[in-house]
Structure 1
Amino acid sequence: MYRLISEISPNFLIQGFGLHQDENEIYVGKVGGQEVQLIPIDHLHSDHFQADEKDTKIFSVGFAEADSHFRSGDVLMTGSDDLLDRAFRAMDEMEQRGVVVSLTPPQDSKHLYLCKDQMNPFVQEWRSRKFSFLCLWMVDPVDSEGQAKLVSILRKVILKD
């Protein structure tokens, strides 16, 4: 099972993955034979991730503001090593710049920090529960081309299974 979480309007994910509403009004579909479920960030809570769901992979997409460390169009990411490796390979194929960031203030200046207060508690929980997860944030502006890049990266990562 794949869980997609979006902090921006999820229409591009619904279209990009061919999702449809089920009887519970949740967007679902299949990608590469795997079930995909879309969860808007404002509906996200810990109950979506049960302890017995170790095969669940979590993908989160959103946006980040440009600053002195990040350029418009960069993809910022954090996640488990397995999915970060896949994301880097996908971005290399697309010639897309990807930057690994930390959601907690760094102890040293070598790590780049991104303040995502709404996502940080979930990311920390996923890490502690050893879920496979990948968070991707496109640096503003997130236009239709940026949304298409996010969908392409996610599709490449998912289809590697």
Structure 2
Amino acid sequence: MYRIISEISPDFLIQGFALHQDENEIYVGKVGGQEVQLLASIDNLNSDEKDIKIFCVGFAEADHHFRSGDVLMTGSDDLLDRAFRAMDEMEQRGVVVSLTPPPDSKHLYVSKEQMDPFVQDWKSRKLSFLCLWMMEPIDSEGQAKLITILRKVILKD
């Protein structure tokens, strides 16, 4: 099961994945036979589940290290590999970032303090996860790119 958490208004995810509300008023759907669930907030994520894959999508503030349209990402190796392959097919630039300020200047860093504890927890529990952030402002083309990347990553299962 894929769980999606969005910092952006989730309408583009609901439309892009053709999600519908279930009896619990949670948006659900299927992509290539894989179940997808959109969570209203990261607090709704049941951290005890084992066989889940977590996607977070959102925005990053403009920074001199990144170009407009860049997709910044962090995640588990399995989903990062898939994301890189998907972006190669799309000729989309993806940049792996750290959420904590690096001790040296060789690593790129994006300020996402509220996400860092979750990411550290997912890493320590060896969960599959992928966080994708686009530079602000995110237009409809950027939203379509995020949907395409996520769809390609899910379809690799």
* Superposed pair shares fold, TM > 0.5: yes
In structure 1, the gaps of 5 or more residues are none
CA RMSD of aligned residues (A): 1.1
- Indicate yes or no: 2:74 matched with 1:97: no
Q: Is the 8 A contact 1:73 1:141 kept in 2?
A: no
Identity of aligned residues (%): 82
TM-score, reference length from structure 2: 0.96
* Residue number among 145, 149, 154 corresponding to 1:149 in the alignment: 145
Indicate the larger mover: 13-22 or 118-127. 118-127
Provide, for residues 6-57 of structure 1, a one-character-per-residue CA deviation record: whole Å limited to 9, x for no partner: 00000000000010011111101111111111013xx32275221xx32210
Q: Residue 46 of structure 2 aligns to which amino acid in structure 1?
A: H
Q: Secondary structure at the match of 1:83?
A: helix
In the alignment, which residue of structure 2 is the partner of 1:39?
A: 39
What displacement does 1:147 show?
0.1
* Residue number among 94, 109, 115 corresponding to 1:113 in the alignment: 109
Distance 1:73 1:152 in 2: 14
What displacement does 1:95 show?
0.4
Provide, for residues 76-115 of structure 1, a one-character-per-residue CA deviation record: whole Å limited to 9, x for no partner: 0000001001000100000000000000111211110111
* Residue number among 40, 61, 77 corresponding to 1:65 in the alignment: 61
Q: Is the 8 A contact 1:126 1:133 kept in 2?
A: yes
Q: Secondary structure at the match of 1:115?
A: coil
In the alignment, which residue of structure 1 is the partner of 2:135?
A: 139
In the alignment, which residue of structure 1 is the partner of 2:19?
A: 19
Q: Residue 117 of structure 2 aligns to which amino acid in structure 1?
A: P
In the alignment, which residue of structure 2 is the partner of 1:83?
A: 79
Distance 2:68 2:8 in 1: 17
Distance 1:16 1:120 in 2: 27
Count of residues in correspondence between the two structures:
157
Q: Secondary structure at the match of 2:150?
A: helix
Q: Residue 123 of structure 1 aligns to which amino acid in structure 2?
A: V
In the alignment, which residue of structure 2 is the partner of 1:30?
A: 30
Judged with a 3 Å threshold, the aligned counterparts in structure 2 of structure 1 residues 144 and 46 are, in CA distance, closer, same or farther, namely: closer
> Displaced runs of 4+ in structure 1, greater than 4 A?
none
Q: Is the 8 A contact 1:76 1:101 kept in 2?
A: yes
TM-score, reference length from structure 1: 0.94
